[in-house]
Structure 1
């Protein structure tokens, strides 16, 4: 059903000038987003998570613009190749490099998230260990500590 809807949409790219502008705008959107992703990656690697978090709104806006333009170009790829073949080929090559940069950014963010979760689990476990009674049971052996850790950990995100 979506294929039928896609075929009925009017063409956006009807001339070489429009094709050139779409390719140019997509190239600029990719570059703007890439600059932001590199900055975010550097901040996260440096442990400056607060500053990296401040880039979120700008990143969201730039990613939305990139996505809109990329989807428009994807829908018109044959027309773009016909009207501006060299520019389209260069854009496709740049897009592959862009994708690898995005993968690096995602890997860094995923690692930071894993480290944060591990820290929270360790803190919860240590707090829970402190709550366990240090007494001997009927058999004369120390009772097993609760493996689940603390029942709740509060996080102040305003710091």
Structure 2
């Protein structure tokens, strides 16, 4: 039986076999989710954002399965602690490792967002910069850098000089 199917049934734990099955189902969902989040993190680091975003629906689905599993673990906490305390410890360790993975993922996403915003801000500043040569007008400066940027627009000449 798949983890999602088992977790949708909302089992009441009455023995060690049921307890072990619940923990294994939650660990299976967590493992799949961890793998997907790790892939997403690496894709964002590599700048392959469209590919990373294509994993979002599956990530949402796995997160839902995992959260349902966590709810089942909470509902059956006493039985789990009594029947399979070693498995409960294993689940807690896996959850802590997953939290670390999520923190790394959030840092990578925040960095990508900051870089994107910086690029957009720089492009907007360049697009809004005055399009005339520095050598003309009241604030004219002559010498190095007095030449217009490429594509700076038409050149105006004063005949009164």
TM-score (normalizing by structure 1): 0.72
Uncovered stretches (5+) of structure 1, i.e. residues with no partner: 1-9, 143-159
Give, in whole Å, the separation in 2 of the partners of 1:106 and 1:72.
27
* Paired residues, number: 130
Q: Which residue of 2 aligns with 1:24?
A: 24
* Equivalent residue number for residue 58 of structure 1: 58
The 1:11/1:54 distance shift into structure 2, 3 A limit, reads: closer
Give how far 1:130 is off: 4.1
| CA shift for structure 1 position 111 | 1.0
Structure 1 CA distance for aligned equivalents of residues 33 and 121 of structure 2? 34
Distance 1:18 1:34 in 2: 24
TM-aligned CA distance change 1:25 to 1:130, over 3 Å: farther
What is the correspondence of 1:139-154 to structure 2 with a 5 Å cutoff? 140-141=138-139
Query: CA offsets per residue over residues 76-112 of structure 1, 9 Å max, x none?
Result: 2232111111111111112111111111111111111
Q: Rg: which structure is higher? A: 2
- Alignment correspondent of 2:106: 106
Paired with 1:116 and 1:80, the residues of 2 have a C-alpha distance of: 46
Aligned partners of 2:131 and 2:67: how far apart in 1?
50
Identify the residue that residue 116 of structure 2 maps to in structure 1. Answer: 116
Unaligned runs of 5+ in 2: 1-9, 141-161
2:130 and 2:48 map into 1 onto residues whose CA distance is 31
Output the aligned Cα RMSD: 2.4
The C-alpha deviation readout for 1:7-28, integer Å capped at 9, x for no partner, is: xxx9832332221111000100
1:36/1:82 CA distance change after superposition, 3 Å: same
Q: In the alignment, what sits opposite 1:68?
A: 68
CA–CA separation in structure 2 for the residues paired with 1:54 and 1:131: 40
- Structure 2 residue matching 1:12: 3-state secondary structure: coil
Deviating beyond 4 angstroms after TM superposition, the runs of 4 or more aligned structure 1 residues are none
Which residue of structure 2 aligns with residue 81 of structure 1? 81
